[in-house]
Structure 1
Amino acid sequence: MKSSIQKLTTAIFLSALLAFSLHSCPAAAQEAGIPATSESQSFYESRQVQVVIHGDTNRDGKLDDSDCDGRERWSWQAGAFVMANLDDDDRSGKPDAYDQIVNGSIDEQDLARFRVLFDPALPSGAEITVDASDAPVNIFQNSGNGWKFLTNQTPLVLAASVRIELGIEAKKFAGVDGWNGRIVLRATVRLDGRIVAEDQAEARVAPWLMLPNSAPTRAFYLATGKYDNSAMMAEVKNILPRWGVAFPTPHLAKNWQEMWLQDSLEIGYTEIPGGARMYVVLNGIRGADSFGPTLLGRDIGVITVGKNRGMTGHDAWVDWFGNLEVSHPTREYPFGRIYYGRNTDSGVGLHPDVVRFLEAQILQDPFWVDTSWLAIKHVDEIFNVLPGSDGRGVVIMGQPAAAAAVLGQPLDA
């Protein structure tokens, strides 16, 4: 049994903690005997909170006391982001977030950093846990000798420092499996099984952003094998050096659909403040898209949204990604705006699962364009956006009448 002194100490500690506010950073470093650094002074002045959890709330790429304000509620204006860690830094053949380890120093860079700050006067036996509820994330604690995976019930290792570093990765993007992308992190202090202090921080998984055609070209992909495209490849070999881009090893198409590589995938990216950009391939759902998954590797992830619908007739090509494009960045849409085709005669547009996924990213606000008058019904046959000589985007539009005049015969779109 506990001694009367232990019981009294616990009771006093509980009553003191429960009286404190949980809406500002904890304080009183000098009273607690913590070395008076500028950071600890600002953090421990008022002794109002016994535990705090926060990420990069102000999005300046670093963690400090200024991130404490506003940490409880995430918005597009402020609040921490977490990256969907879907690349394969250790070349295991699966996304890094699908395991419960940090796959080396490169994978470490894909973790969003959070801090847990606690009262150094916590008595022996107190435990702190971090809970993300049912959000699809992995949480790790930096032990100084590596990263320890945490479950919702795993107590943090309370070392001499009152600042604990966490690394968090998401397993998917918003819009996948109905997830809205929000992450509520709760730090809880328990003593003798009782909750004596809590704090909360909200975060969101960083969005998947589709790259426009006006983005700088870093890599070039093409396919061969089902049609004779040797003349095109010879021309491409002459053009790519002007962009400083290497000619790739052509993908050997397994079926005729893969020859149309533009329809097989879209390339986007995700990033968090202070972190490196991760490119993420949105792979095709035609049932004939084997190239995209081969790109999985360091700093390149691959996702698939939706399943092949087996469309036929005039809508047979509706889910090919030539029917999905994004504009050049504009003042209203600094990441560009996504557009896709819809056959207004049949009411069929791009796969609903893909559209919902794109809408869940918020920032590129998709809209549809009537493609009913086209034979293939792909929006990229109506207009596209290319880089202009002045750095701005240039809209290129098809003109069937002008083409007919050049050919000297009428055209059936």
Structure 2
Amino acid sequence: MRIIHRRRAALVVSAATVLLTTGTVSAPVHAAGPPTADLRADVDRDGTVDLTGTTDTAGEDTWTTARGAVFLPNLDDDSKRCKATSPLGKPLSDARLASCNDAQDAVVNGAEDAADLARLRTVPLPELASNATGRVEVLTGLTKTRLHIKRNGKWSLVLPGQKLTAAELRAGVELGIEGRDIIRDRAVWDGRAVVRLTVTADGRTTSDDVTLRVAPLLTHHHAQRAQELLVTKVKGTDPGAKAQQKFVADLTEHAKAANLPAPRTFTGGEFNDVWAQDFFEPGYVGMTGPGGKSQSIRIMIRSVQEWRDAGREVFTKLRGPGVGGVQLAYGTDSGGTLDSMGNLETIPPHAHNGKSYPAGRIIQGQFPATGEKPAKSLRTMLASQGLQDPLLLDTGWLHVGHVDEFVQFLPADTPRGWRMAVADPEGGLKLLRDAKAAGHGAKRLFSRPAGTFPVPKDTIDQTLASAQHREDNALAARKIAENVAILKRETGVTDAEIIKVPALYSRASKWPGVSAADSPRLARTGASTTFLDILGKSPKKSGTASGRSSAAAAPEPTSAWIPGAINGVVLGNDRYLAPKQWGPVVDGKDIFTEAVTAAYAQAGMKVSYIDDYYPYHLGSGEVHCGTNTLRDTSTAWWGR
């Protein structure tokens, strides 16, 4: 937006207009005025600030998801200066730990940090008078941004009132802007920054404004290529610790087979928290950098669970060059099971009913019967990004209550680019009925050998005869169908695009000798390295170990009975890692393994299996719950 101050503009126009009179004909003649301020940014998002054409001028005063200059919240730590302890060696508070990043100091921390700056440039004014001066300032978003100027090849902070010289304005000035934070609440800050260039010459002042917006913080979907796995690695020699160490070793082999690096490991904090999916959610921000290449920063979202100290590893283990983290405000409504990040998944990009989600759409679980939802600070932040419009589903029928327990999205070679997979308890019961009809009713439901950890002894006949099991799976089937109906309505996905994965559910108190009050089904929101930990201990969290209110626990919800295949990890467009099924073995084959393999083949995926019986399955989760995944960040979120 170019502004010529009114009083001075009038003087310029009156002085520049000369009437030539020849008979009855008169015409205005305009003398050339002083050069006009012209500030530009990468409005068309091609990675270049156009100084000679008009590609970056139209729409420079507005911002939409399709057009408008973007800058990054510079929350990584390119110079690795952020510490986890005080000078005395004591752990920093959560707030201090989260507060360190590249945007909190006044310097540009090397070449990598400079790449995180969004460029603005002034159009050179070679005819500018020698007495001219200029300045640049942030009008909107001042406290949320830092503006830097490049002088003699070095970056420095633009200070209030700092002047630009005539020589600089003649040559053109290069500026860089960074965000100091993400959008946490658009009612407080909607992410916009308005930068103004003002030039004064020959008694005339002109100004030009450009509007930018901080890049939205986005969550990953499974159509993005997996790049790295993360998992908790515990120490110790007890059976639980050994089982977890074996899981990490096996996961490393599966990663290698998928051409991925060895998984990065966490310690799990005070509670040896093995639920790597739950204590943080990988996110990312991006813009187009020089040469049209993607410039992105990973930003890990710590769960809003203050008691869960493993979340601190977002800052102590992951933060560094190209990787930052955010911690949202704890509140009276935060800390429960719905705030675990396994309760946050993302539908891949789609458009339906006039609405487009080029970066995908978030789904989260809620408990409609009690009104419980994920913490307000988390929901507000996600919605404030303006792109992934979180959709809430009913997970109140599940003991842990996470969406990853019954639905997932798979990359597929289809016009949509993905399929939806859902757990199918009716399909699981049909496998048992077919096996019974074939004369195998006396087979054990679980083929896992008895050992250190409890294995149910139920047979196929006993399972099918159990009214409890029939009720539990009828509940699961009904609730899954209700959620699928919502997803079909919101996305346009059809039955032909849905893969049904055989599953069985049962209430928590099914475990032999374990009551509903101390069931392992309470464990996923806690942490454990021994079976006694799973059964008895809970983390530092008021209320029940799961963080659910007592009202939400009646009637008793369900969890996966046979290890939930839907709760696995997409390792590639054609590769899926599922929990080992340990189902009934008929004629030398696990009938659930065979059925799960066939189901995923419909999406063109080859399934491999990993034993996660302890601690994940016994803790009411599976391999997806116990791992996390960093995925490709290069695709433009505006759909270029």
- Give TM-score scaled by structure 1 length: 0.82
What CA distance in whole angstroms lies between the structure 1 residues aligned with 2:135 and 2:325? 32
What CA distance in whole angstroms lies between the structure 2 residues aligned with 1:123 and 1:387? 60
Q: Is residue 110 of structure 1 aligned with residue 132 of structure 2?
A: no
The equivalent position to 2:65 in structure 1, one of 76, 81, 95, is 76
User: Residue 337 of structure 2: SS of its match in structure 1?
Assistant: coil
What CA distance in whole angstroms lies between the structure 1 residues aligned with 2:272 and 2:305? 8
The equivalent position to 2:373 in structure 1, one of 342, 349, 355, is 349
Q: Is residue 285 of structure 1 aligned with residue 309 of structure 2?
A: no
What CA distance in whole angstroms lies between the structure 2 residues aligned with 1:310 and 1:182? 29
Show the 5 A alignment for 1:369-380. Answer: 369-380=393-404
Deviation at 1:153, TM superposition (A): 1.8
Give the length in aligned residue pairs: 372
Gap change, CA 1:281 and 1:201, over 3 Å in 2: same
Q: Greater shift after overlay, 102-111 or 118-127?
A: 118-127
Deviation at 1:191, TM superposition (A): 6.5
Q: Is residue 180 of structure 1 aligned with residue 202 of structure 2?
A: no
Residue 142 of structure 1: aligned partner: 150
Deviation at 1:404, TM superposition (A): 5.8
The equivalent position to 1:238 in structure 2, one of 225, 235, 253, is 253
Gap change, CA 1:47 and 1:191, over 3 Å in 2: closer
Residue 268 of structure 2: aligned partner: 253
Q: Would the aligned equivalents of 2:140 and 2:195 in 1 still touch at CA under 8 Å?
A: no
User: Residue 269 of structure 2: SS of its match in structure 1?
Assistant: coil
**Structure 2: which 5+ residue stretches go unaligned?**
1-6, 14-31, 83-99, 433-444, 446-459, 464-468, 470-505, 508-557, 559-640
The equivalent position to 1:200 in structure 2, one of 192, 199, 209, is 209
- What letter corresponds to residue 99 of structure 1 in structure 2? D
What CA distance in whole angstroms lies between the structure 2 residues aligned with 1:19 and 1:347? 65
Residue 223 of structure 2: aligned partner: 214
What CA distance in whole angstroms lies between the structure 1 residues aligned with 2:401 and 2:172? 57
Residue 350 of structure 2: aligned partner: 330
Residue 321 of structure 1: aligned partner: 341
Gap change, CA 1:400 and 1:18, over 3 Å in 2: farther
User: Residue 356 of structure 1: SS of its match in structure 2?
Assistant: helix
Deviation at 1:393, TM superposition (A): 2.5
Q: Would the aligned equivalents of 2:304 and 2:330 in 1 still touch at CA under 8 Å?
A: yes
- What letter corresponds to residue 239 of structure 1 in structure 2? H
Residue 32 of structure 1: aligned partner: none
Deviation at 1:327, TM superposition (A): 1.1
Encode CA deviations 1:85-112: one digit per residue, 9 max, x unaligned. 1111111113111111111111111110
Q: Is residue 57 of structure 1 aligned with residue 63 of structure 2?
A: no
Gap change, CA 1:219 and 1:18, over 3 Å in 2: farther
Deviation at 1:119, TM superposition (A): 4.0
Deviation at 1:285, TM superposition (A): 2.1
User: Residue 318 of structure 1: SS of its match in structure 2?
Assistant: helix
What CA distance in whole angstroms lies between the structure 1 residues aligned with 2:136 and 2:199? 9
Q: Would the aligned equivalents of 1:341 and 1:371 in 2 still touch at CA under 8 Å?
A: yes
Taking only aligned residues, the RMSD between alpha carbons, in angstroms, comes to 2.8
Encode CA deviations 1:44-80: one digit per residue, 9 max, x unaligned. xx86861011201121110113212321222223211
Q: Would the aligned equivalents of 2:34 and 2:204 in 1 still touch at CA under 8 Å?
A: no
Residue 358 of structure 1: aligned partner: 382
What CA distance in whole angstroms lies between the structure 2 residues aligned with 1:317 and 1:119? 60
Q: Would the aligned equivalents of 2:228 and 2:264 in 1 still touch at CA under 8 Å?
A: no
The structure in which a higher percent of residues are helix is 2
Q: Would the aligned equivalents of 2:74 and 2:116 in 1 still touch at CA under 8 Å?
A: yes
- What letter corresponds to residue 324 of structure 1 in structure 2? L
What CA distance in whole angstroms lies between the structure 2 residues aligned with 1:57 and 1:120? 24
User: Residue 155 of structure 1: SS of its match in structure 2?
Assistant: coil
The equivalent position to 1:398 in structure 2, one of 417, 423, 428, is 423
- What letter corresponds to residue 384 of structure 2 in structure 1? A
Deviation at 1:230, TM superposition (A): 2.8
Residue 318 of structure 2: aligned partner: 295
Q: Would the aligned equivalents of 2:183 and 2:385 in 1 still touch at CA under 8 Å?
A: yes
**Structure 1: which 5+ residue stretches go unaligned?**
1-13, 21-45
Q: Would the aligned equivalents of 1:51 and 1:118 in 2 still touch at CA under 8 Å?
A: no
What CA distance in whole angstroms lies between the structure 2 residues aligned with 1:69 and 1:185? 16
Q: Would the aligned equivalents of 1:270 and 1:278 in 2 still touch at CA under 8 Å?
A: yes
- What letter corresponds to residue 301 of structure 1 in structure 2? G
Residue 276 of structure 1: aligned partner: 295
Encode CA deviations 1:122-172: one digit per residue, 9 max, x unaligned. 444433121212511111111133012103422224435341111111111
What CA distance in whole angstroms lies between the structure 1 residues aligned with 2:66 and 2:268? 45
Encode CA deviations 1:7-46: one digit per residue, 9 max, x unaligned. xxxxxxx9469747xxxxxxxxxxxxxxxxxxxxxxxxx8
